[in-house]
Amino acid sequence: MLRLALRRLALAVPTMLAAATFVFLLIHLVPGDPVDVMLGESAARADREALRRTLGLDRPIAAQYAAFLSGLARGDLGRSLVHGTPVARLLADRVPATAELTFAALAVAVALALPLGLAAAARPGTWIDRGSVGVALLGVSVPSFWLGPMLVILFAIDLGWLPVSGRGTWAHLVLPAATLGFGMAAILTRMTRASVLECLAEEYVRTARAKGVSRAGILARHALRNALAPVVTILGLQFGALLAGTVITETIFAWPGLGRLLIDAINQRDYPVVQGCILAIAAGFVAANALADVANGWLDPRIGAAAARARP
C-alpha cells in the first residue's frame, strides 16, 4: 500500500508540472496583448509599460517560465492586479468554502447513489431497476445552471424553507450541495448497479448462495466491497468535475469559494488570480485521483500487489 501511495505521489508531480505549464501558457496564448486586454488599447504608453514590467512580460519567455516555476515552488503565485493582495492569500481564504461545498455535494451523491444502485442490482428488470435508470437519466440530462435556479424558486422563494444564497449556516449549504450532487449521483448510480451486477455473477457469490447466505448478506459482505473499486475510480474523476462545477453553482448561489473568485477575476481581467484558481482546481483534481487509486489498492489487494511488483 505504501509503495502504491509513493508511486501515485511521484506521478502527481509531472502531472502538476504539466498543468502549471498549461496555466502559464494561457496568458501568452490569449489573442492579442494581455496588457491591452487588461488596460484597454487607449491606455497611456507609460501605464502599459509599467504593467508589462509588473507582470514580467518584458523578459524572454524562458525567463518568465523559470520565474513562474520558481514562484510556485515557494508558494508565491503573484499578486492580484485588482486587490494588490497575494494570490495565495486570496486562494487560502476561498478554499475552505469550496471544500465545504464539494464534500457536501459528494456526500449527497453517495447517499443517493449507493442505495439506488444496490437496490437496482438486487432486483434487475423490476420497477426499482427501471426507476433508478430513470433517475440516472434525469440527473445526467438536467444541467446545474437550470437545476439550481429551479431549486431556489421552489424551496427558497415559494416555500421559504431555505435561504436563497450566501454562506453561513447548514441551511445555506443544502441547495448548492443538492445542485452539484444530483448530477454526480446519477453517474454513480449506474456505475454501482453495473459493478454490483458483475460481482453477483462471480463464482464466490454462487458459493455463498450455496452455503445459504441471505441476499442482503451477499450484497453487503461479498458484492459491495468488490464492486466499490470502479465506483471509487469514478468518484475520483467526478471530484474533479465537482470542483469545476462549483464555478457555475457558486455563481448561482453567491457562494464565496474558488469558483466565484475565478468568475470575478475573469470579469476583472485579473490574470494572476485566474492562473491561481485554475492551478488550485487542477491540484484538487490530481489529489482526488491519486487518493482514489490508493483507496482502490486497499479495496482490491491485487492492485496493491501489482504496484509492489512493478518497477518504480
Q: Give residue-wise pLDDT tens across range 205-247.
A: 777 777 777 777 777 666 777 777 777 777 777 777 777 778 8
Query: How much is the average pLDDT of 2-12?
Result: 70
Is residue 35 within 8 Å of residue 57, measured between CB atoms? yes
Taken in order 175, 178, 183, 184, is the CA torsion positive or negative? positive
Q: What is the pLDDT of residue 302?
A: 57
> Quick one: pLDDT at residue 312?
46
**Which set of grid coordinates corresponds to residue 40?**
484597454
Q: Is the dihedral of CA 6, 22, 176, 146 positive or negative?
A: negative
Entry field: residues in the chain:
312
Note the pLDDT of residue 32: 62
Q: Which CATH number fits domain 88-309: 1.10.3720.10, 1.10.540.10, 3.20.20.480, 3.40.50.300?
A: 1.10.3720.10
DSSP secondary structure letter of residue 42: T
Cα separation, 235 vs 217, whole angstroms: 25
What's the CA gap between 306 and 179, in Å, rounded?
39
Cell of residue 129, nine digits = 431497476
% pLDDT > 90, the chain = 3
- What pLDDT is attached to residue 300? 62
Model pLDDT, residue 301: 59
Q: Give the pLDDT of residue 299.
A: 62
DSSP letter assigned to residue 75? T
> Which amino acid, residue 283?
A
pLDDT at 4: 63
| Mean pLDDT computed over 37-42 | 70
Q: What is residue 300's three-state secondary structure?
A: coil
pLDDT over threshold 80, residue 27: no
219 and 205 Cβ atoms separated by less than 8 Å: no
Q: Is the pLDDT of residue 177 over 50?
A: yes
DSSP 8-state symbol, 86? B
pLDDT at 298: 67
Give the domain ranges of the chain.
31-76, 88-309
- Comparing 16-25, 31-40, 60-69, the range with the smallest average pLDDT is 31-40
Quick one: pLDDT at residue 30? 66
pLDDT at residue 200 greater than cutoff 80? no
311 pLDDT exceeds 70? no
Distances (CA, A) of 89 to 70, 76, 277: 18, 10, 12
How far is Cα 151 from Cα 173, in angstroms, rounded to an integer? 13
How many percent of the chain have pLDDT more than 70?
A: 88
135, pLDDT greater than 50:
yes
Closest CA to 291 of 3, 1, 5, 2: 5
Q: What is the pTM of this model?
A: 0.78
Mean pLDDT on 292-306? 63
- The whole-number average pLDDT for the span 84-108 is 89
pLDDT at 304 over 70: no
The region of weakest confidence among 90-104, 174-188, 230-244 is: 230-244
pLDDT tens digit sequence for 183-195: 888 888 888 888 8
